[in-house]
Amino acid sequence: MILVDDLVVRFGHVVAVGGVSFAVRPGEAFGLLGPNGAGKTTTVRVLATLLPATGGRAMVAGYDVRREGLEVRASIGYIPQALSADGALTARENLEFYARVTGVPRGVRKERIADAVDAMEIGEWLDRLARTLSGGMLRRLEIATALLNRPPVLLLDEPTVGLDPNARRVVWERLHALREHSGTTILVTTHLMEEAERQCDRLAIMDHGQLVAQGTPEDLLASHEAAALEDVFVAVTGKMIEEGGNIRDVRRQRRIAGRLG
Amino acid sequence: MFGASAASPAASGRLARPPALSSPPAMRMLAGAHAMARAELQKLRHDHLDLITRSVQPLLWLFVFGTALRHNRALAAGASDYRAYIAPGVMAQAALFIAIFYGLAVIWERDVGQLQRLLATPLPRTAIVVGKAVGASVRALVQASLLLIVLGLTGIGIRWTVPGVVGALALLVCGTAAFACLSMVIAAGVRTRERFMGIGQLIMMPLFFASSALYPLSIMPGWLHVVARFNPLTYEVQGLRQLLLGVGGHGELLLDFVVVIGFLVAMVAAATRAYPRAIL
């Protein structure tokens, strides 16, 4: 469903992604794991057609991200790391807005919104302004807005950053329910080891724009004779995951955490 | 419960053409513009205070500045009093303020991820830019309608004809959309809101004072007259003035519309190129 082959992204002399390759099977939950600045967000942005690749090739739902951007965008639901729900609109108005801009036909709009609301269990507070919702509610609202055009692929960039453990658990419960029901393929970036280990079928570990290991969590643990994924990360990168990133990354994460309360 | 996604029919490889692309691009563009205009109206409905606070400045221009110079015949240039003369200029200035600072919203939307979300939808890039511009125009339209109500209530002598008012609002929408696109072009190249505020002030005041918003072109010194002739705001104000006051020469209204619409087309094209770069 997603194919990334020798992907390279450069910003001037800086290599953000340096020859990354991986494939995600239909219906799979695939995690890109790495510290801030590893190149995870850049990779996802290329897949969402927001950034052009400098080299290599990427396909999403059978479409080439470089040549068939419109088809790719019509086949994905994308949730960026920052909170994208419009706080000045109610949850229902956010859903209506994204139903319109993602091309959901008028005749099925209400039904699609109702389905997305059910899938994310957000029906109780549809008429509240988004800025008054808690972090977990906001993330579920955002995911609901990404489901309206029934995309075969969901690209989620750090969907649980800033959430408390309970809200994180609820978000993942709803995502797994969605996968079971609809066969949606999920590509998620995270820097949370435990989350990656528990929630993803397969993982790719990124560091400094390189993919340094990939496999199922069990395979990664076994091949490195490690008790936890954190030990695998240390073994393949030589450092702890908290390191890395720049002041912009830290500032962005603090801002998101601040908005999530 | 949630229905089957498009993943179901084909487990791998290329899927059927996404349903979101079944309608022609023009229809998708209209749908996108409509969605964004609707969202702006919903935001205004939730936040009346924004509309009220934004209305203060144009009213000050009209009733303080305008009243102080009310009996100056040279400045009124054919209008019944100076307040009527500057009413179209004040209307255009209020819309310009909304449009130029619309770029701030672009920077904010980039910071909170809304821009990335929009750019990852199947809307054509032009549709996003047009939709955003329409959003700014909706705000300007609501504010101009309030200003027209105040003009009616206070008996300031403008010409109340349906074609005049409708034409003026249409010209105002085009001008606001064009300046909002200019603002998006600037926002695409600016990293912080603080810097954008500075640039916004830097271009807004010269645009306003080097136009016919407050005084007729005929009393301007030669160099300023030349600058004003290259300023699209001049044509927007002159068009509004002709439609609302009947002031202006034969054929000038057509030129005003041609210049404003031409400016709009150029700015939409520029913003379509620049806007996606705002996320870099």
Q: What's the ipTM?
A: 0.84
CA of A236, closest CA in chain B: separation in Å?
A: 30
Contact B19 A49 (CB under 8 A): no
CA-derived radius of gyration, chain B: 21
CA of A63, closest CA in chain B: separation in Å?
A: 7
Which parts of chain B have pLDDT scores under 70? 1-16, 74, 76-80, 278-280
pLDDT score at A253: 57
pLDDT score at B7: 41
pLDDT score at B2: 46
Rounded to 5 degrees, φ, ψ at A26 are: -60, 135
pLDDT score at B278: 65
pLDDT score at A201: 92
pLDDT digits (tens, 9 = 90+) for B202-259: 888 899 999 988 888 888 888 999 999 999 999 999 999 999 998 877 778 999 999 9
CA of A37, closest CA in chain B: separation in Å?
A: 15
Contact A78 B120 (CB under 8 A): yes
pLDDT score at B174: 97
pLDDT digits (tens, 9 = 90+) for A108-120: 999 999 988 988 8
pLDDT score at A59: 95
Size of interface A-B (CB pairs under 8 A): 158
Residue of A25, A42, A51, A150 to mutate, interface with B, max B Cβ within 10 Å: A150
Distinct helix (H) and strand (E) counts, chain B: 13, 0
Query: What are the structural domains of chain A?
Result: 2-260 (3.40.50.300)
Give the whole-angstrom CA distance, residue A108 versus residue B237: 44
Give the whole-angstrom CA distance, residue B83 versus residue B158: 10
Domain boundaries, chain B: 24-279
pLDDT score at A256: 58
A183's tokens: 């066969």
Which parts of chain A have pLDDT scores under 50? 243-244, 261
pLDDT score at B33: 85
pLDDT score at B5: 47
Q: How far apart are the first and last CA of chain B?
A: 38
Q: Write down the H helix ranges in chain A.
A: 40-47, 69-73, 91-101, 106-120, 135-147, 165-182, 193-199, 217-223, 229-237, 247-260
Residue of B42, B107, B117 to mutate, interface with A, max A Cβ within 10 Å: B117
Q: What pTM was estimated for this model as a whole?
A: 0.81
- Out of B10, B39, B46, name the one closest to residue A129 (CB): B46
- Return the residue matching tokens 């969907």: A159
